[in-house]
Amino acid sequence: MIRQYDKIKDMDLSFETKLVDHKINEMDTGRDLTQCICHVDMDAFYASVEELDDPSLKEIPMAVGGMHMLCTSNYKARQFGVRSAMPGYLALKLCPQLKIIPLHFPKYRAASAKVRAIFAKYDPSFLPMSLDEAYLNLTNYLSTSELTPEQLVQQIRDEIQQETQLTASAGIAANRMLAKICSDFNKPNGQYFLPMEREAIMKFTSNLSIRKVSGVGRVTERVLQTLDVKTCGDILHRRAILYRLLSPISFQFMLKCYLGLGSTNFNLESDRKSISVERTFSALSKPDDLYRKVDELAELLAVDLGRNQIQGGKTVGIKLKLTSFDVRVRSKTYPSYISKKEDIARIVKELVQKELPVSIRLMGIRLSSLPPKVDDDHGVKKYFKKRKNTDAGEEQPRKISTVPSSPVSVLTSTSVTPDTHLTASIAANENAPSIVAVTCPICSRSLALDNHQFNQHLDECLNKVTVKAILQQQQQNQSPPQDQTQGRSLLDYYR
């Protein structure tokens, strides 16, 4: 798939560059710098809570979790390289004297509740992401106080420490994406303030490793690395290439990274989409053993369903991790909601049966297509919420994403072979400042212009029409372009 890149990399991408620049400009000027968002992250949360109960743990390397996997480690243990999300056996190799404490969720929940009570004082609609992490919108509070954002956040963190004896780190910035990154900057017991100003933000992102952005993991990092993109600032130089290579959604995401854009609203009305249980065990392959596991899991899931007040789900799915570590996911959707333990078990067994013979080390079962949450009000309020949601999303993740054809179609649709067409005209212009007949790829008009005029025309055209409108127009005017770029998703590069 790198071949796709090789093909593109030597091409003339001046048109793409223009198109992207226009898009960047649009996004840049639409920037919202009015909000003050804070991301608070408790330091080594589970481990710190355990240390509260047993202060002697502070003096030794310690981690919380199980032999299979650790959730957190204290800072003593981190000196040995013991990190969270590390299997216990490996951690013990790194640090033989490591003490591993089992999880005590009720304790963590209690500590979390105290912290959240503090958050609520400063932002009643704060957004908890997990027990130890939350976003706060401090804009309102700041408007009624003399404090600077930094002073206010210091105050919040002091309060947390007084109330719980636990320390927190925080990031303060114009949106969630930036605040999240900032909270990592002065990690244990510190905070970082990124002013809500364009210049400061652009400077910040220009040298920021792309990997710091939430949503960019190992795979994406590697793919981008092969495209010479290491920092958010690098995205600008590679914008045309990225535009050609990535899906609209991925590309939009890249531009946001470059510009330091992120969402500021917390009302993501997130009812859950699925509920599941899964367990790892020593290899099983006998059907009877598998079915017994199914019964166990179905039982657990049914209990969970009840505890979460979920009526049921229309889609029943299984996940099998083979002893080879390959993963198989299967699912089936029904017209009515499935909720009873027996029904779940029966359907799951059918799904499992089709996979036989298998030897697996993990089995998971899942219910999705859950019923919409009916929060006891009729019509009006729901309608209101919906509206609020859509108009608040002025910078939602998928703006150009609804375009079914690829962005490349802008190019491919106008003339038979637009690339050669464009480059031909430009090449001609190099030889002499002659006037060449070209077809504008945007408005589809035939033009007799020299290179400079043509570029000017492009600018005008781009300013008049939004990218979306362009694409729509192209779509209805043109026959479907034969698109040789199939895999523009990041993931495709991996194969």
Partner DNA sequence: CATCGAAGGACCC
Partner DNA sequence: AGCCAGGGTCCTTCGTGA
Binding residues for DNA, rule: CB under 7 A, are 68-69, 71, 81, 85-87, 90, 93-94, 129-130, 132-133, 180, 213-221, 247-250, 268, 270, 272-280, 304, 315, 317, 321, 325, 327-333, 361-362, 364, 366, 368-369, 397-398, 401, 404, 480, 486-489, 491-492, 494
Residue at 417: amino acid letter: T
Separation of alpha carbons 397 and 461, rounded Å: 25
Q: Which is nearer to DNA, 90 or 440 (CB)?
A: 90
Q: What is the DSSP letter of 206?
A: H
296 catalytic, yes or no?
A: no
- Separation CA 317–CA 332 (nearest Å): 6
- Dist CA 57 CA 75 (whole Å): 11
CB of 495 to DNA, least distance (A): 8
Cβ distance to DNA smaller for residue 92 or 426 = 92
First to last CA, the chain: 7
Catalytic residue among 59, 133, 150, 430: 133
Give CA–CA dist 410/422, Å, rounded.
Answer: 13
Supply the minimum distance, in Å, between the C-beta of residue 380 and DNA. Answer: 25
Q: What are 68's two structure tokens?
A: 């299979």
Nearer to DNA, 149 or 248 (CB): 248
152, exposed or middle or buried, with CB in 10 Å at 0-12, 13-18, 19+?
buried
CA distance 61 to 84: 13
**What is the rounded distance in angstroms from the CA atom of residue 372 to the CA atom of residue 382?**
12
User: By C-beta, is 263 or 429 nearer to DNA?
Assistant: 263
Nearest Cα residue to 418 out of 466, 467, 486, 482: 482
Shortest Å distance, C-beta 33 to DNA: 24
Q: Which residues contact 107 (CB under 8 A, 6 or more apart)?
A: 49, 50, 53
Note the residue count of the chain: 495
Tell me which residue of 56, 50, 52 sits closest to 70, measured CA to CA. Answer: 50
Closest approach of DNA to the CB of residue 74, in Å:
17
Integer angstrom CA distances of residue 168 from 161, 164, 213, 434, 451? 8, 10, 20, 66, 58
- In this structure, the strands spanning 313-322 and 127-130 are unpaired
Minimum CB separation of residue 315 from DNA in Å reads: 5
User: Sheet holding 127-130: strands in order across?
Assistant: 127-130, 133-137, 37-42, 168-173, 191-193
- The nearer residue to DNA, 55 or 325, going by C-beta atoms, is 325
Closer of 270 and 431 to DNA (Cβ): 270
Shortest gap between Cβ of 314 and DNA (angstroms)? 7
Looking at the Cβ atoms of 87 and 195, the one nearer to DNA is 87
Query: What is the nearest approach in angstroms of DNA to the Cβ of residue 328?
Result: 5
- 152 touches 145 (CB < 8 A): yes
- Catalytic annotation, residues: 133
